[in-house]
């Protein structure tokens, strides 16, 4: 019952978001601010994670492929495909749900609890449009870019680790990367990126915007927002894979 | 003019506002007074539409706020300035940006004009050199004054202040009261102030609504208060001996006699 009413309120929130902005330049400024926070704010952690994930995939794939019949280029192919298909979009988005999602939920929650949202309402600002829309738009602009960066860095990390451990030489790795490359995989990963970035921004915005109570509830709301976003990401990952692959 | 008609508000089973009506006229300070928890903030939030009352109407210029279309709400809201009990400053913005926000959002002024206006209102709330501070770096009373500056920056037609001088020293408190009063008269604003500060009541109360446990217990002007026989009101307003004396002195001044002989013995003695 409460799930259904939550879904209903979520839909109403999305609907309420599409109102005419009072002043375009203010919304543009807010969008840019959110792009900075979500995009650049998460760049460091995304870079670190992708490089290490790529490195670990190379070493573990090499460890599992012991047969001399399998050419070494296969390692590069496997690393490339797992990074592009799964690690870059899904893992990065799960981490972003924690980093950006909890930020969005606690920012809005704090604004709600300290009556800043009410203050905006009283001024005649449409708070759903002003506070939520730029966050979702910024997430959908920046997170797919982060996913692309993660792909590149993941593969680069794999190449680096392969060379450092003496498993595979850079030339063979590069040859493997080019073998049987399917551009569709990148398209699929970006589709996932868009869906996930919508989840990462809208779900925490919902929990933050509707917080009631005090500081304690803000903490609870942002934890809940992260948990729900992660579950929804994994669920959407499964559905998209079943549909599109 | 704002008319409050038979407002009732419940939270769960608890009735917080019960059948309150009032008329708040432009150009005067309309005060809502009452003990902590008597429902002042809830009543004010109903008046501006942040809470929806279970029953009753709030009429702005004769039109019920709760049966208007969304666009009319927005239009009225643009004429409202409100100071919240907890200030509600945007904590990601500096003082200057906070006060400039309504200007940025709703006017086409140039940056220079906006900055001029910001400094003007900051001066009126007697704040200096705080333009680039953030709300977290201000004291409670300074936050209140910044919030008041933000509430009046667009020259509102309706001004709502929830305890504008709680947490201020008596002197600044008087400055703020005077400012609210001056603005109200100067721009013919319909001002509604929640307060339990007796100074403000006696200095600015053109219309006073006394709330007791969610009900309207008494209403009148600051003159009426002195002559009122309402026991609850008298106990609330003139809580201390000092204030009781002040009341009697006022009465003596105005009518030449005292209502009771509380302190007469002391006075007669040499
Ligand atoms: N959101 C809410 N949910 C439930 N009860 C509430 C809510 N807001 C206020 N109340 C109750 O309504 C009553 C009146 O509260 P209100 O905030 O209006 O008091 P007040 O007169 O403004 O007091 P103060 O002078 O301390 O600010 C209180 O008993 C409070 O517990
Ligand atoms: Mg209050």
* CB A87, CB A53: distance < 8 Å: yes
pLDDT of amino acid B197: 85
> What residues of chain A lie within 8 A of the CB of B81, using their CB?
122
> Average of pLDDT values for B155-162?
95
Give the ligand at the shortest distance from the Cα of B84.
2
Annotate chain B with DSSP letters as a single string.
Answer: -EEEEEEEEEETTEEEEEEEEEEE-TTSEEEEEESTTSSHHHHHHHHTTSS--SEEEEEETTEEGGGS-HHHHHHHHTTEEEE-TT----TTS-HHHHHHHHHHHH----HHHHHHHHHHHHHHTT--S-TT--GGGS-HHHHHHHHHHHHHTT--SEEEEESTTTTS-HHHHHHHHHHHHHHHHHTT-EEEEEE--HHHHHHH-SEEEEEETTEEEEEE-HHHHHH---HHHHHHHT-SHHHHHHHHHHHHHHHSS-SS-TTHHHHH--
Q: Whose CA is nearest to atom 11 of ligand 1?
A: B16
Between helix A133-164 and helix A183-209 the angle, nearest 10°, is 130
* A199 vs B202 pLDDT, higher one: A199
> What residues of chain A lie within 8 A of the CB of B82, using their CB?
119, 122
What's the pLDDT tens digit per position in A9-20?
999 999 999 988
> What residues of chain B lie within 8 A of the CB of A23, using their CB?
104-106
Confidence of residue A70 (pLDDT cuts 50, 70, 90): confident
Alpha-carbon span A154 to A50, nearest angstrom: 5
Which of the 8 DSSP states describes residue A97?
Answer: I
Q: Is the pLDDT of residue B263 over 60?
A: no
Q: How many residues does chain B have?
A: 270
Poorest-confidence range of B25-34, B108-117, B232-241?
B232-241
Option in A26, A111, A121 nearest B104 (CB): A26
- Which burial class, exposed, middle or buried, applies to A116 when counting CB atoms under 10 A from its CB (0-12, 13-18, 19+)? buried
> What residues of chain B lie within 8 A of the CB of A37, using their CB?
none
Contact A116 B88 (CB under 8 A): yes
Q: 3-class SS at A20?
A: coil
Q: Which chain A residues in 124-153 lie under 8 Å from chain B, judged by CB atoms?
A: 124-126
What's the pLDDT tens digit per position in B54-66?
999 999 999 999 9
Q: Whose CA is nearest to atom 27 of ligand 1?
A: B36
ipTM for the assembly: 0.89
Q: Which domains does chain B have, with CATH numbers?
A: 2-79+156-261 (3.40.50.300)
> Average of pLDDT values for B44-57?
94
Q: Is the pLDDT of residue B249 over 90?
A: no
Best of B15, B18, B20, B40 to mutate for ligand 1, by most ligand atoms within 8 A of CB? B40
Using the Cβ of A115 and the Cβ atoms of chain B, whether some distance falls under 8 Å is answered with yes
pLDDT of amino acid A172: 93
Confidence of residue B265 (pLDDT cuts 50, 70, 90): low
Alpha-carbon span B56 to B47, nearest angstrom: 11
What's the pLDDT tens digit per position in A80-120?
999 999 999 999 999 999 999 999 999 999 999 999 999 99
Q: Is the pLDDT of residue B210 over 60?
A: yes
Shortest Cα–Cα distance, A176 to chain B (Å):
49
Q: Whose CA is nearest to atom 31 of ligand 1?
A: B37
Alpha-carbon span A190 to B148, nearest angstrom: 48
Q: Is the pLDDT of residue B262 over 60?
A: no
Using the Cβ of B88 and the Cβ atoms of chain A, whether some distance falls under 8 Å is answered with yes
* B233 vs B191 pLDDT, higher one: B191
- Global confidence as pTM: 0.90
Backbone angles phi, psi at A50, to 5 degrees: -65, -45
Poorest-confidence range of A48-57, A58-67, B40-49, B76-85?
A58-67
Option in A23, A111, A122 nearest B77 (CB): A122
pLDDT of amino acid B9: 95
Using the Cβ of B105 and the Cβ atoms of chain A, whether some distance falls under 8 Å is answered with yes
Beta pairing, strands B190-195 & B207-212:
unpaired
Confidence of residue B258 (pLDDT cuts 50, 70, 90): low
Question: Locate tokens 């904590």: which residue?
Answer: B91
Using the Cβ of B48 and the Cβ atoms of chain A, whether some distance falls under 8 Å is answered with yes
Mean pLDDT (chain B) is 89
Confidence of residue B28 (pLDDT cuts 50, 70, 90): very high
Which of the 8 DSSP states describes residue A16?
Answer: H
pLDDT of amino acid A69: 84
Poorest-confidence range of A104-118, A146-160, B227-241?
B227-241
């Amino acid at each position: 019952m409460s799930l259904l009413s939550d879904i209903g309120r979520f839909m109403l929130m999305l609907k309420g978001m599409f109102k005419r902005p009072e002043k375009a330049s203010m919304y543009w400024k807010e969008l840019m601010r959110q792009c900075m926070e979500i995009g650049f704010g998460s760049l460091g952690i995304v870079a670190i994670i992708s490089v290490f994930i790529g490195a670990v995939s190379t070493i573990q794939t090499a460890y599992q492929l012991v047969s001399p019949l399998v050419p070494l280029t296969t390692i590069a192919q496997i690393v490339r495909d797992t990074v592009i298909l799964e690690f870059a979009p899904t893992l990065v988005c799960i981490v972003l749900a924690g980093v950006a999602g909890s930020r969005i939920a606690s920012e809005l929650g704090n604004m709600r609890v300290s009556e800043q949202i009410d203050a905006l309402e009283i001024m005649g600002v449409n708070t759903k449009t002003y506070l939520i829309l730029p966050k979702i738009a910024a997430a959908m602009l920046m997170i797919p870019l982060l996913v692309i960066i993660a792909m590149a860095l993941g593969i680069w990390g794999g190449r680096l680790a392969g060379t450092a451990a003496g498993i595979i030489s850079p030339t063979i790795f590069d040859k493997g990367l080019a073998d049987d490359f399917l551009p569709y995989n990148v398209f699929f990963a970006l589709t996932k990126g868009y869906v996930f970035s919508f989840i990462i921004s809208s779900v925490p915005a919902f929990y933050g915007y509707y917080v009631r109570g005090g500081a304690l509830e803000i903490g609870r709301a942002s934890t809940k927002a992260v948990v729900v976003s992660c579950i929804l990401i994994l669920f959407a990952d499964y559905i998209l894979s079943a549909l599109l692959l | 003019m704002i008319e409050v008609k038979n407002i009732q508000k419940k939270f769960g089973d608890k009735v917080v506002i019960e059948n309150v009506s009032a008329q708040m006229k432009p150009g005067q300070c309309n005060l809502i007074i009452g003990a902590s928890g008597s429902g002042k903030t809830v009543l004010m939030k109903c008046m501006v539409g942040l809470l929806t009352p279970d029953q009753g109407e709030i009429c702005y210029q004769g039109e019920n706020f709760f049966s208007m279309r969304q666009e009319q709400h927005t239009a009225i809201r643009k004429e409202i300035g409100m100071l919240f009990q907890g200030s509600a400053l945007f904590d990601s913005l500096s003082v200057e940006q906070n006060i400039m926000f309504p200007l940025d959002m709703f006017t086409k002024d140039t940056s220079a004009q906006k900055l001029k206006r910001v400094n003007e209102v900051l001066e009126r709330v007697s704040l200096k050199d705080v333009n680039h501070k953030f709300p977290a770096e201000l004291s409670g009373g300074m936050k209140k004054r910044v919030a008041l500056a933000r509430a009046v920056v667009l020259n509102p037609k309706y001004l709502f202040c929830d305890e504008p001088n709680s947490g201020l020293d008596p002197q600044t408190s008087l400055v703020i009261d005077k400012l609210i009063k001056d603005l109200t008269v100067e721009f013919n604003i319909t001002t509604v102030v929640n307060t339990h500060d007796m100074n403000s009541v006696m200095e600015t109360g053109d219309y006073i609504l006394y709330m007791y446990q969610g009900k309207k217990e008494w209403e009148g002007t600051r003159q009426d208060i002195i002559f009122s026989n309402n026991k609850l009101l008298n106990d609330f307003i003139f809580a201390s001996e000092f204030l009781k004396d002040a009341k009697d002195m006022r009465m003596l001044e105005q009518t030449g006699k005292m209502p009771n002989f509380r302190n007469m013995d002391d006075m007669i003695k040499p």
